[in-house]
Chain A
Protein backbone atom coordinates (compact mmCIF):
# COMPACT_ATOMS: atom_id res chain seq x y z
CA UNK A 1 0.00 0.00 0.00
CA UNK A 2 0.95 3.66 0.02
CA UNK A 3 3.62 4.90 2.37
CA UNK A 4 3.50 7.82 4.77
CA UNK A 5 2.37 10.91 2.91
CA UNK A 6 3.18 14.47 3.95
CA UNK A 7 2.01 17.78 2.56
CA UNK A 8 3.06 20.25 1.52
CA UNK A 9 6.53 19.10 0.49
CA UNK A 10 7.80 22.66 0.76
CA UNK A 11 6.43 25.62 2.65
CA UNK A 12 7.79 29.14 2.66
CA UNK A 13 6.24 31.54 5.12
CA UNK A 14 6.88 34.88 6.70
CA UNK A 15 7.96 35.28 10.29
CA UNK A 16 4.93 35.56 12.55
CA UNK A 17 2.56 33.59 10.33
CA UNK A 18 0.94 30.30 11.35
CA UNK A 19 1.56 27.11 9.35
CA UNK A 20 -0.09 23.71 9.23
CA UNK A 21 1.72 20.58 8.14
CA UNK A 22 -0.16 17.41 7.31
CA UNK A 23 0.71 13.75 7.73
CA UNK A 24 -1.22 10.80 6.36
CA UNK A 25 0.16 7.61 7.96
CA UNK A 26 0.18 4.12 6.52
CA UNK A 27 -3.28 2.62 6.71
CA UNK A 28 -3.71 0.53 9.84
CA UNK A 29 -0.79 2.08 11.71
CA UNK A 30 -1.88 3.15 15.15
CA UNK A 31 1.29 5.00 16.15
CA UNK A 32 2.29 8.32 14.60
CA UNK A 33 5.36 10.43 15.33
CA UNK A 34 6.54 13.89 14.39
CA UNK A 35 10.24 14.72 14.23
CA UNK A 36 12.15 17.83 13.24
CA UNK A 37 15.42 17.75 11.31
CA UNK A 38 17.42 20.94 11.18
CA UNK A 39 20.03 21.37 8.45
CA UNK A 40 22.81 18.84 8.93
CA UNK A 41 21.39 17.64 12.22
CA UNK A 42 19.76 14.50 13.53
CA UNK A 43 16.09 13.92 14.06
CA UNK A 44 14.54 15.63 17.06
CA UNK A 45 11.42 14.05 18.53
CA UNK A 46 8.41 16.37 18.79
CA UNK A 47 5.23 14.43 19.56
CA UNK A 48 3.85 10.88 19.52
CA UNK A 49 0.30 9.59 19.12
CA UNK A 50 -0.76 6.05 19.98
CA UNK A 51 -4.34 5.11 19.19
CA UNK A 52 -6.78 6.99 21.41
CA UNK A 53 -4.28 7.54 24.22
CA UNK A 54 -3.18 10.99 25.28
CA UNK A 55 -0.28 12.06 23.06
CA UNK A 56 3.28 12.30 24.34
CA UNK A 57 4.06 15.98 23.82
CA UNK A 58 7.36 15.95 25.69
CA UNK A 59 9.39 16.95 22.63
CA UNK A 60 7.48 20.05 21.59
CA UNK A 61 9.95 22.97 21.87
CA UNK A 62 7.44 25.65 22.82
CA UNK A 63 3.74 26.34 23.24
CA UNK A 64 3.70 27.68 19.67
CA UNK A 65 3.79 24.07 18.53
CA UNK A 66 0.75 21.82 18.68
CA UNK A 67 -0.50 18.74 16.91
CA UNK A 68 -3.67 16.79 16.62
CA UNK A 69 -4.68 13.51 15.13
CA UNK A 70 -8.25 13.17 14.00
CA UNK A 71 -9.99 9.82 13.84
CA UNK A 72 -6.78 8.01 14.65
CA UNK A 73 -5.42 8.65 11.18
CA UNK A 74 -4.38 11.99 9.66
CA UNK A 75 -2.32 14.31 11.83
CA UNK A 76 -1.73 18.04 11.59
CA UNK A 77 1.25 19.81 13.14
CA UNK A 78 0.59 23.51 13.70
CA UNK A 79 3.24 26.11 14.35
CA UNK A 80 1.92 29.48 15.45
CA UNK A 81 3.77 32.79 15.06
CA UNK A 82 6.61 31.12 13.19
CA UNK A 83 10.19 32.16 13.91
CA UNK A 84 13.25 31.81 11.72
CA UNK A 85 14.62 29.08 14.01
CA UNK A 86 11.58 26.97 13.12
CA UNK A 87 13.05 26.49 9.65
CA UNK A 88 13.71 22.77 9.27
CA UNK A 89 12.41 19.62 7.66
CA UNK A 90 9.46 18.23 9.59
CA UNK A 91 9.25 14.46 9.29
CA UNK A 92 6.32 12.27 10.15
CA UNK A 93 6.59 8.54 10.81
CA UNK A 94 4.11 5.82 11.57
CA UNK A 95 4.37 2.31 12.93
CA UNK A 96 1.98 -0.56 13.33
CA UNK A 97 1.94 -0.05 17.06
CA UNK A 98 3.93 1.82 19.64
CA UNK A 99 3.39 -0.61 22.44
CA UNK A 100 5.67 -3.49 21.57
CA UNK A 101 9.35 -3.54 22.23
CA UNK A 102 10.08 -3.31 18.55
CA UNK A 103 8.14 -1.16 16.15
CA UNK A 104 9.49 -0.26 12.75
CA UNK A 105 8.91 3.39 11.98
CA UNK A 106 8.27 4.32 8.37
CA UNK A 107 9.00 7.91 7.47
CA UNK A 108 7.35 10.32 5.13
CA UNK A 109 9.35 12.47 2.75
CA UNK A 110 8.99 15.47 5.05
CA UNK A 111 7.90 19.07 4.75
CA UNK A 112 10.70 21.57 4.28
CA UNK A 113 9.67 24.72 6.15
CA UNK A 114 11.44 27.98 5.45
CA UNK A 115 10.61 30.98 7.60
CA UNK A 116 11.74 34.25 6.07
Chain B
Protein backbone atom coordinates (compact mmCIF):
# COMPACT_ATOMS: atom_id res chain seq x y z
CA UNK B 1 0.00 0.00 0.00
CA UNK B 2 0.84 3.67 -0.09
CA UNK B 3 3.16 5.22 2.49
CA UNK B 4 3.51 8.99 2.84
CA UNK B 5 6.27 10.64 4.83
CA UNK B 6 6.19 14.32 5.73
CA UNK B 7 8.90 16.68 6.97
CA UNK B 8 9.47 18.65 9.07
CA UNK B 9 7.14 17.79 11.92
CA UNK B 10 7.35 21.35 13.23
CA UNK B 11 8.30 24.56 11.49
CA UNK B 12 8.62 28.03 12.94
CA UNK B 13 9.06 31.06 10.68
CA UNK B 14 8.91 34.81 11.04
CA UNK B 15 5.96 36.63 9.57
CA UNK B 16 6.69 37.46 5.94
CA UNK B 17 9.13 34.59 5.45
CA UNK B 18 8.45 31.56 3.27
CA UNK B 19 7.63 28.08 4.55
CA UNK B 20 8.25 24.81 2.74
CA UNK B 21 6.86 21.42 3.71
CA UNK B 22 7.97 18.27 1.91
CA UNK B 23 6.38 14.89 1.41
CA UNK B 24 7.45 11.67 -0.24
CA UNK B 25 5.23 8.81 -1.32
CA UNK B 26 5.89 5.20 -2.16
CA UNK B 27 3.24 4.14 -4.67
CA UNK B 28 4.20 5.22 -8.17
CA UNK B 29 0.55 4.72 -9.20
CA UNK B 30 -0.60 7.59 -6.95
CA UNK B 31 -1.87 10.45 -9.06
CA UNK B 32 -3.63 12.89 -6.77
CA UNK B 33 -1.95 14.90 -4.02
CA UNK B 34 -3.99 17.23 -1.82
CA UNK B 35 -2.85 19.40 1.07
CA UNK B 36 -5.07 20.00 4.07
CA UNK B 37 -4.83 22.69 6.74
CA UNK B 38 -6.11 21.95 10.21
CA UNK B 39 -6.40 24.76 12.71
CA UNK B 40 -6.50 23.89 16.38
CA UNK B 41 -9.70 22.06 17.25
CA UNK B 42 -11.10 22.37 13.75
CA UNK B 43 -11.67 20.07 10.84
CA UNK B 44 -9.06 19.56 8.08
CA UNK B 45 -9.75 21.77 5.08
CA UNK B 46 -8.38 21.40 1.59
CA UNK B 47 -6.13 24.29 0.61
CA UNK B 48 -4.62 23.10 -2.66
CA UNK B 49 -4.21 19.92 -4.65
CA UNK B 50 -2.29 18.70 -7.67
CA UNK B 51 -2.65 15.87 -10.14
CA UNK B 52 0.22 13.86 -11.50
CA UNK B 53 0.02 15.34 -14.99
CA UNK B 54 0.97 18.74 -13.60
CA UNK B 55 4.33 19.76 -12.14
CA UNK B 56 3.31 22.89 -10.29
CA UNK B 57 0.17 24.69 -9.21
CA UNK B 58 -0.25 28.09 -7.57
CA UNK B 59 -3.05 29.78 -5.71
CA UNK B 60 -2.12 33.22 -4.43
CA UNK B 61 0.51 32.71 -1.68
CA UNK B 62 0.34 28.93 -1.85
CA UNK B 63 2.03 26.67 -4.38
CA UNK B 64 2.55 22.95 -4.69
CA UNK B 65 5.23 21.23 -6.75
CA UNK B 66 5.34 17.59 -7.76
CA UNK B 67 8.27 15.49 -8.91
CA UNK B 68 6.87 12.16 -10.10
CA UNK B 69 10.26 10.68 -10.87
CA UNK B 70 11.48 11.24 -7.33
CA UNK B 71 8.02 10.65 -5.85
CA UNK B 72 7.97 13.78 -3.79
CA UNK B 73 5.81 16.87 -3.58
CA UNK B 74 6.10 20.08 -1.61
CA UNK B 75 3.94 22.87 -0.27
CA UNK B 76 5.28 26.41 -0.48
CA UNK B 77 3.74 29.29 1.43
CA UNK B 78 5.12 32.74 0.70
CA UNK B 79 4.74 35.93 2.74
CA UNK B 80 3.52 33.94 5.72
CA UNK B 81 1.00 35.50 8.08
CA UNK B 82 0.04 34.58 11.67
CA UNK B 83 -3.24 33.10 10.41
CA UNK B 84 -1.20 30.55 8.44
CA UNK B 85 -0.32 28.94 11.78
CA UNK B 86 -1.87 25.47 11.76
CA UNK B 87 -1.06 21.82 11.14
CA UNK B 88 -0.64 20.98 7.48
CA UNK B 89 -1.15 17.47 6.11
CA UNK B 90 -0.10 16.15 2.76
CA UNK B 91 -1.85 13.15 1.26
CA UNK B 92 -1.66 10.85 -1.71
CA UNK B 93 -4.24 8.79 -3.49
CA UNK B 94 -3.62 5.94 -5.83
CA UNK B 95 -5.80 4.09 -8.26
CA UNK B 96 -5.40 0.55 -6.96
CA UNK B 97 -8.58 -1.42 -6.89
CA UNK B 98 -10.79 -0.76 -3.92
CA UNK B 99 -8.55 1.77 -2.26
CA UNK B 100 -10.03 5.20 -2.78
CA UNK B 101 -9.14 6.77 0.51
CA UNK B 102 -6.26 9.16 1.02
CA UNK B 103 -3.04 8.19 2.74
CA UNK B 104 -1.93 11.07 4.91
CA UNK B 105 1.44 12.24 6.10
CA UNK B 106 1.96 12.72 9.82
CA UNK B 107 1.52 16.49 9.65
CA UNK B 108 3.62 19.63 10.04
CA UNK B 109 2.87 22.13 12.76
CA UNK B 110 3.60 25.55 11.30
CA UNK B 111 3.98 28.47 13.63
CA UNK B 112 4.28 31.96 12.17
CA UNK B 113 5.82 34.38 14.64
CA UNK B 114 4.50 37.95 14.34
How many angstroms between the C-alpha atoms of A98 and B102 in the bound complex? 11
- 12 more contacts with CB within 8 A, not counting A104-B34, A104-B49, are A35-B101, A41-B106, A42-B104, A43-B89, A56-B98, A98-B100, A101-B32, A102-B51, A103-B100, A105-B46, A107-B36, A109-B42
Interface of A is mostly: loop
CB of B32 within 8 A of CB of A102, answer: yes
Chain B, Cβ-Cβ closest to A41: B106
Verify if A31 is at the interface (C-beta below 8 Å from B). yes
- The answer to whether B43 and A109 touch across the interface, beta carbons within 8 angstroms, is yes
Give the B-binding residues of A (Cβ under 8 A): 4, 31, 33, 35, 40-45, 48, 50, 56, 58-59, 91, 98-99, 101-110
Question: Hey, which chain A residues are within 8 Å of B107, CB to CB?
Answer: 40-42
Q: How far is the CB of A99 from chain B (nearest CB, A)?
A: 7
Which residues between 14 and 59 of chain B lie within 8 Å of chain A, taking CB atoms?
31-32, 34, 36, 42-46, 49, 51
Whether B101 and A48, one on each chain, are in contact in the complex, defined by CB atoms closer than 8 angstroms, is yes
A42 and B105 form a contact (CB under 8 A): yes
In the assembled complex, 24 residue pairs joining A and B whose CB atoms fall closer than 8 Å, in A order, are A4-B43, A31-B100, A33-B101, A35-B101, A35-B104, A41-B106, A41-B107, A42-B6, A42-B104, A43-B102, A43-B104, A44-B104, A45-B102, A48-B101, A56-B100, A56-B101, A58-B98, A59-B101, A91-B43, A102-B49, A104-B46, A105-B34, A107-B36, A109-B43
Hey, which bits of chain B sit against chain A, CB under 8 A? Answer: 6, 31-32, 34, 36, 42-46, 49, 51, 89, 91, 95, 98-107
Q: Which residues of B contact A98 (CB under 8 A)?
A: 100
Given contacts A41-B107, A42-B89, A42-B107, contact A105 B43 (CB under 8 A): no
Known: A58-B99, A101-B32. A42 touches B45 (CB 8 A): no
**Given A43-B44, A101-B32, A105-B46, does the pair A56, B99 have CB atoms closer than 8 Å?**
yes
Find out whether the CB atom of A107 lies under 8 angstroms from the CB atom of B106: no
Residues in A whose Cβ lies below 8 Å from that of B45: 107
**How close is B23's CB to chain A, nearest CB, in angstroms?**
11
